[in-house]
Amino acid sequence: MTIHDEMKKRRTFAIISHPDAGKTTMTEKMLLLGNLIRSAGTVKGKKSGKFATSDWMEIEKQRGISVTSSVMNFPYKDYQVNILDTPGHEDFSEDTYRTLTAVDSVVMVIDGTKGIEAQTLKLFKVCKMRGIPIFTFINKMDREGREPFELMEEIEETLNIETYPMTWPAGMGKRFLGVFDRNNEEFVRFTGNEEETYIPYDELDQHPDLTEQATYQEAKDEMALLDEAGDEFDMEKVLKGDQTPVFFGSALAPFGVETFFNSFIDMAPEPAPRKSTEGIVSPDNEEFSGFIFKIQANMNPQHRDRIAFVRICSGKFERGMNVTLSRTGKTFKLAQSTQFVASSRGTVEEGYAGDIIGIYDPNVYRIGDTIVTGKSKYEYDELPQFPPELFKKVTAKNVMKSKQFRKGLEQLVQEGAIQLFKRYRFEDYIIGAVGELQYEVFEYRMKNEYNVDVELTPMGERIPRWLREDQVDESLFDERNMLAQDREGNPLVLFKNDFSLRWFEDKHPDIELTDLFEVNQYNQAFE
């Protein structure tokens, strides 16, 4: 098959939601459909001893949450599927935002009992800003929850997007009978076990035990209302992110996931052209290119490895090929390449636009790096960077382990979940993070992966502002407004609060303070 044919088979998407809405459970069911696993373990599988395949880090299994973006590749029907399961916890927003740069569409999972929650709204705004097509799955219909019309209205008003129900539920909770599949014109019957019964519309009169129930009749009247007064389905709007196809079901049951997945996989967009510093790059361009959106250390703790996750944007990847790192102009041979089901991996020999592959990182790659073949040295759009909100001093409890401490610190910082600073002219390390959970994960991983116990001393919230090297006057700073350096050695000030920052600006108008994060358009989305 040609590069063009292979590219058209790719479906690369992320699953986003608020914590506990059922995102990881949904991912598991898709893996089950792709024959990748024999039985699905829910995230909260502590009692049963089954853990979700997409949660590979030990702390995720213990706490029943996803804190890293997992990547899963598998064939399904005539397609090659790449699912990115993102962390739902807001402290790991950065990882999720970067992941959204690597996908062509998203599946938004909404809890039918709660509706749209804070984290769903934040992630939706990023998708909207990037024009990513959004497909909605309203989960937990086998529980008593909010009325479907109410949920649809909330989606339209809160997210400012049209809705088009591709499936429509008959009842909920104990009265849940199944869904009308408007796309395939059949009723999918919920039996309470894993089997789904598909009844074409023209055969429904043969099932009076179903059609004569008041719940069924009520849903049929609602369907008539939708046909009469609802929005028209418009694929062009879907692809622009202005309309979301909505599906109902229960990932845990599981019910409605296969119906959803079959429709979604046909409707979801193939890889699209991408912006670079040298203009638009087409996915079927002959020359290989891709960008690194995630780096993960110690996915295999026995080998202390670092894997850089690459979204292929054009051409054909072949194991052993030489690529140029655009940022430095240096050439590397990609001899070790992998594809994943969470932490399980297999060597991948080739890949095409849309595929997500892992390449061995000999400590040279950074998040956002572009790799290319041929004479071009272009780079893809910068990935978003977010200002840390909390700061803590970090030291090793055992000074004899300073070497492991520095190595662990360096590697975990390169993954992008925490940011590293040093006190100016001192060896005092300071780490900044978006939320408290990131510190817990950092502490856990330092102990378990680098055998180092760390001490974290809170500094509270700080406001980072950079300044020019020639304007550094150490006598102007103290503990309250601390002079520091970022990991590149650039000087900055960690101001105690907004008042301290304004006071300093009034007192020293000649000193130029820069917010390196304000250049990022993403920040405005989360005000």
C-alpha distance from residue 471 to each of 334, 475, 476, 508 (Å): 43, 12, 11, 11
pLDDT of residue 299: 57
* Beta-bridge partners for 370: 291
- Radius of gyration for the chain, computed over Cα atoms and rounded to the nearest angstrom: 25
DSSP per residue, 88-155: -SGGGHHHHHHHHTT-SEEEEEEETTTBS-HHHHHHHHHHHHHT--EEEEEE-TTS----HHHHHHHH
Query: In the CATH scheme, what is the homologous superfamily, with its name and number, of domain 390-520?
Result: Peptide chain release factor 3, domain III (3.30.70.3280)
3-class secondary structure, 218: helix
Structure tokens at 109: 């999972």
pLDDT of residue 522: 39
Residue-wise pLDDT for 250-266, tens only, equals 988 889 999 999 999 99
C-alpha distance from residue 281 to each of 127, 239, 275, 313, 321 (Å): 21, 19, 6, 8, 20
Name the pairing type of β-strands 491-495 and 482-486.
Answer: antiparallel
Q: What is the C-alpha to C-alpha distance for residues 315 and 225, in angstroms, rounded to an integer?
A: 48
* Sign of the four-CA dihedral 25, 198, 186, 148: negative
> Is-contact 418 312, C-beta < 8 A?
no
23 assigned to a ligand binding site: yes
Closest CA to 244 of 252, 253, 254, 234: 234
Q: Which helix (H) or strand (E) holds 33?
A: helix 23-33
Q: CB count, 10 Å around CB of 200?
A: 12
174 assigned to a ligand binding site: no
117-151 burial, b for 16+ CB within 10 Å, e for fewer?
bebbebbbbbbbeeebbbbbbbbbbbeebbebeeb
5 assigned to a ligand binding site: no
18 assigned to a ligand binding site: yes
284 assigned to a ligand binding site: no
pLDDT of residue 296: 78
Closest CA to 304 of 445, 118, 433: 445
Assigned architecture for domain 274-372: 3-Layer(aba) Sandwich (3.40)
Q: What is the C-alpha to C-alpha distance for residues 243 and 527, in angstroms, rounded to an integer?
A: 24
Q: What is the C-alpha to C-alpha distance for residues 275 and 269, in angstroms, rounded to an integer?
A: 17
289 assigned to a ligand binding site: no
What are the residue ranges of CATH 3.40.50.300 in the chain?
A: 12-68+86-267, 274-372
464 assigned to a ligand binding site: no
> Is-contact 475 429, C-beta < 8 A?
no
Q: What is the C-alpha to C-alpha distance for residues 46 and 44, in angstroms, rounded to an integer?
A: 6
19 assigned to a ligand binding site: yes
What amino acid is encoded at 105 in this protein? S
Q: Model pTM?
A: 0.77
> Is-contact 430 360, C-beta < 8 A?
no
For 111, counting Cβ atoms within 10 Å of its Cβ (0-12 exposed, 13-18 middle, 19+ buried), the class is buried
508 assigned to a ligand binding site: no
What amino acid is encoded at 117 in this protein? E
> Is-contact 115 25, C-beta < 8 A?
no
Name the pairing type of β-strands 491-495 and 463-466.
Answer: antiparallel
Structure tokens at 87: 């962390």
According to DSSP, residue 380 is labeled: B
> Is-contact 493 481, C-beta < 8 A?
yes
As a whole number, the mean pLDDT across the chain is: 84
299 assigned to a ligand binding site: no
What are the residue ranges of CATH 3.30.70.3280 in the chain?
A: 390-520
Q: Which helix (H) or strand (E) holds 10?
A: strand 10-17
142 assigned to a ligand binding site: yes
Please give the CATH topology (third level) of the domain spanning 12-68+86-267: Rossmann fold (3.40.50)
141 assigned to a ligand binding site: yes
Name the pairing type of β-strands 134-139 and 105-111.
Answer: parallel
Structure tokens at 318: 């072949």
128 assigned to a ligand binding site: no
The C-alpha angle with vertex 506 and arms to 503 and 509, in degrees rounded to 5, equals 135
C-alpha distance from residue 163 to each of 177, 224, 398 (Å): 23, 16, 57
17 assigned to a ligand binding site: yes
85 assigned to a ligand binding site: yes
25 assigned to a ligand binding site: no
C-alpha distance from residue 427 to each of 236, 404, 409, 488, 496 (Å): 56, 15, 13, 14, 21
Length of the chain in terms of residues written: 527
Q: What is the C-alpha to C-alpha distance for residues 456 and 468, in angstroms, rounded to an integer?
A: 29
Structure tokens at 425: 């002219």
88 assigned to a ligand binding site: yes
Sequential pLDDT tens for the chain (527 residues): 799 999 999 999 998 887 777 777 888 888 788 776 544 443 333 344 444 444 444 544 444 443 344 678 888 999 999 988 776 545 555 677 788 889 999 999 999 999 888 767 877 877 887 889 999 999 999 999 999 999 999 999 988 999 999 999 999 999 999 999 999 999 999 987 767 899 999 999 999 999 999 999 999 999 999 988 888 999 999 999 999 999 999 988 889 999 999 999 999 999 999 999 999 999 999 999 999 988 877 655 555 677 888 999 999 999 999 999 999 999 999 988 776 654 455 777 889 999 998 888 888 888 889 999 988 789 998 776 667 878 999 999 998 999 999 988 988 887 776 889 999 988 899 999 877 877 888 888 888 888 999 999 999 889 999 999 999 999 999 888 999 999 888 999 999 999 999 999 999 999 999 887 654 443 444 34
Closest CA to 409 of 393, 425, 388, 390: 393
pLDDT of residue 59: 41
| Torsion of Cα atoms, 134 then 176 then 26 then 266, to 10° | -50
